[in-house]
Chain A
Amino acid sequence: AQKVTQAQTEISVVEKEDVTLDCVYETRDTTYYLFWYKQPPSGELVFLIRRNSFDEQNEISGRYSWNFQKSTSSFNFTITASQVVDSAVYFCALSEGWDSNYQLIWGAGTKLIIKP
């Protein structure tokens, strides 16, 4: 069965430190998509990145980077030089297959606290 695990419930770091949020997924499909969303205290889910199962290239966007490794079924997210505004709950999610079922399967989220 499909599953997304974010083992870190809460992480607290001091501003400017680097921090990595872990995501491990389970799926039997060979075609799938992985996502990261940010949920700040305001509550709205903000899309960060989408990665398909055929593209294992790492991606960097400013201070954000993502490491996708199919061999370990992981899709980890690193924030470099963290800032207080990065404080939020971060969710990893999985969407399987090419057919009509597009529902996202979500991890439980990691609460990230960046202290000034």
Chain B
Amino acid sequence: GAGVSQTPSNKVTEKGKYVELRCDPISGHTALYWYRQSLGQGPEFLIYFQGTGAADDSGLPNDRFFAVRPEGSVSTLKIQRTERGDSAVYLCASSSGGDGTRAGSTQYFGPGTRLLVL
């Protein structure tokens, strides 16, 4: 079946602009995650959705970052007033777990969106 898809694959924007990054999880996966990866580093957790609600948004760096998942499937990560420091690869993952009894369900990742803020 289809894996996690992310669009766009690359996004170049100017400082101060607003961007939206989209993630389409594996069909049937209830849990969805956003991570950010800077060059030469491991991914950094941003936010986790269980269904439509954000179960853990402790990784969002500040209030310029916001994510939604209105129908429990596709998610959009929104970044307002972008800064050069936001440049990174934004990764989305989904898993079938999250019901409280299946901790550690494997997260499957999309190809990422490479964001460059000029």
Q: Tell me which of B40, B43, B101, B103 contacts A95 (CB under 8 A).
A: B103
Quick check: B100 and A44 within 8 Å, CB to CB? no
- In the complex the two chains form, is B103's CB within 8 Å of A102's CB? yes
Chain B, 54-97, contact with A by CB distance < 8 Å: what is the 0/1 string? 01100100000000000000000000000000000101010101
Report the minimum CB–CB distance from B98 to chain A (whole Å). 6
Residue among A35, A52, A103, A107 with most chain B CB within 10 A: A103
Q: Are A106 and B103 in contact (CB under 8 A)?
A: no
Interface string of A90-116 (1 = CB under 8 A from B): 010101011111111111110000000
Interface pair B100/A98, CB less than 8 Å apart = yes
**Nearest chain B residue, comparing its CB with the CB of A105:** B45
A98 touching B101, Cβ below 8 Å: yes
A99–B106 contact, CB under 8 A? no
A53-77 vs B, Cβ < 8 Å mask (1 yes, 0 no):
0000000000000000000000000
User: Are A106 and B43 neighbours in the complex by a CB distance under 8 Å?
Assistant: yes
Q: List CB contacts (< 8 Å) of B20-44 with chain A.
A: 31, 33, 35, 40-44
Q: Is B55 in contact with A95, judged by CB distance below 8 angstroms?
A: no
Contacts of A4 in B (CB 8 A): 42
Tell whether A44 pairs with B103 under 8 Å between CB atoms, given A100-B56, A106-B43.
no
Chain A hits for B106, CB < 8 A: 35, 47, 50
Q: In the docked arrangement, what's the CA distance between A52 and B55, Å?
A: 22
In the bound complex, CA of A52 to CA of B110 (Å):
24
Are A102 and B42 touching (Cβ within 8 A)? no
Contact of B42 among A52, A99, A109 (CB under 8 A): A109
Cα(A52)–Cα(B42), bound, Å:
21
The interface of chain A, by Cβ under 8 A from chain B, is 4, 31-33, 35, 37, 42-47, 50, 52, 91, 93, 95, 97-109
Q: What are 23 A-B pairs at a CB distance below 8 A?
A: A4-B42, A42-B111, A43-B112, A47-B107, A47-B109, A50-B106, A52-B104, A91-B43, A100-B56, A100-B100, A101-B48, A101-B56, A102-B33, A102-B56, A102-B97, A102-B104, A103-B56, A104-B33, A104-B45, A106-B42, A107-B42, A108-B42, A109-B41
